[in-house]
Amino acid sequence: MDPPYDRGFEKRVLEYLSDSSLVYEDTQIIVEASKETDFSYLQDLGFEIIREKTYKTNKHLFIEKAGKRGSMLRAIYPGSFDPVTFGHLDMIRRSGQIADELIVGVLNNKAKTPLFSVEERVRILEEVTKDLPNVKVMAFDGLLVEFAKQIGAKVIVRGLRAITDFEYELQMSQTNHKLEPEIETMFLTTSLEYSFLSSTTVKEVAAFGGDITQFVPELVVDKIEEKMKTKRRV
């Protein structure tokens, strides 16, 4: 489906398809829409997003009938991942061992100016997680619980590096639970060797020409070096 953008045609067609004999149990609907198009209504129509590809101005959504995958546990691990670190990858691997399917949700925060665009972060994460068959990468903006509801995720995974993280994360989890009582939050403590590590630390070390190979994958090292060279030229 590739209707004119931002005119509500996607919703009207999906409303029709939700009660149509055209859609079978194994039908997959692919929708092209603008990045800003809201699909939070999908669950009410009996659909769920199983995959999303985001581009510069638009996105592709892969949609199936909700519940098709039975009692499969789908979890979401959200973050900015600007850039993704070994600490993030450790959390992704461990979360992927708990959930049947793990969605790595890449936040597109328009109030900030990230080092990497959301499209770049998605591509990098897809590359560094390609050996994890049950992990998928999707971009999102807006409320996390709304995105979790859209994709049928029942669990939000959050990492705790130190006790100071807990108060903020507890408040967020309680707020999310108030908004969507059916979605739970699961806390995982960061592995000891990564308890100090953050994306901010990586960027600060890189900005002063420090060695970041022990913090991020080689692919990310190369990408950061390219960004830093561009900044110095400017």
Please state the rounded mean pLDDT for residues 180-192: 94
CATH of the domain at 1: 3.40.50.150
Q: Which of 65, 88, 158, 223 is catalytic?
A: 88
Tell me the pLDDT tens digit for each residue of 56-102: 889 999 999 887 655 678 999 999 999 999 999 999 999 999 999 99
Listing DSSP states for 95-136 in one string gives HHHHSSEEEEEEE--TTS--SS-HHHHHHHHHHHTTT-TTEE
> Percent of the chain beyond pLDDT 70?
97
Q: Which of 161, 177, 203, 227 is catalytic?
A: 161
Q: Which of 67 and 18 is assigned the larger pLDDT?
A: 18
Q: Which of 11, 46, 68 is the last residue of a domain?
A: 68
Q: Which of 33, 68, 103 is the last residue of a domain?
A: 68
Q: Among this protein's residues, is 130 annotated catalytic?
A: no
Examine the domain organization and report whether 92 and 162 are in the same domain: yes
Examine the domain organization and report whether 42 and 108 are in the same domain: no
Contacting residues for 76 by C-beta, under 8 A, at least 6 apart: 102, 103, 104, 105, 144, 147, 148, 151, 153, 155, 156, 157
| The two structure tokens encoding residue 73 | 């546990």
Residue 215 counted as domain residue:
no
Examine the domain organization and report whether 118 and 167 are in the same domain: yes
Tell me the pLDDT tens digit for each residue of 110-128: 878 899 999 999 999 999 9
Per the structure, the complete domain to which residue 142 belongs is given by: 71-195
Q: What is the pLDDT of residue 22?
A: 87
Q: Among this protein's residues, is 18 annotated catalytic?
A: no
Domain count, the chain: 2
Give 52's strand partners: 61
Among 48-62, 128-142, 177-191, 210-224, whose mean pLDDT is lowest? 48-62
Model's pTM, two decimal places? 0.74
Q: Which of 56, 110, 112, 232 is catalytic?
A: 112
Q: Which of 68, 83, 103 is the last residue of a domain?
A: 68
Torsion sign across C-alpha atoms 51, 128, 101, 167 = negative
Examine the domain organization and report whether 79 and 34 are in the same domain: no
Examine the domain organization and report whether 165 and 59 are in the same domain: no
Asked whether the predicted pLDDT for residue 233 surpasses 70, the reply is no
Q: Among this protein's residues, is 177 annotated catalytic?
A: no
Mean pLDDT, rounded, of the chain: 91
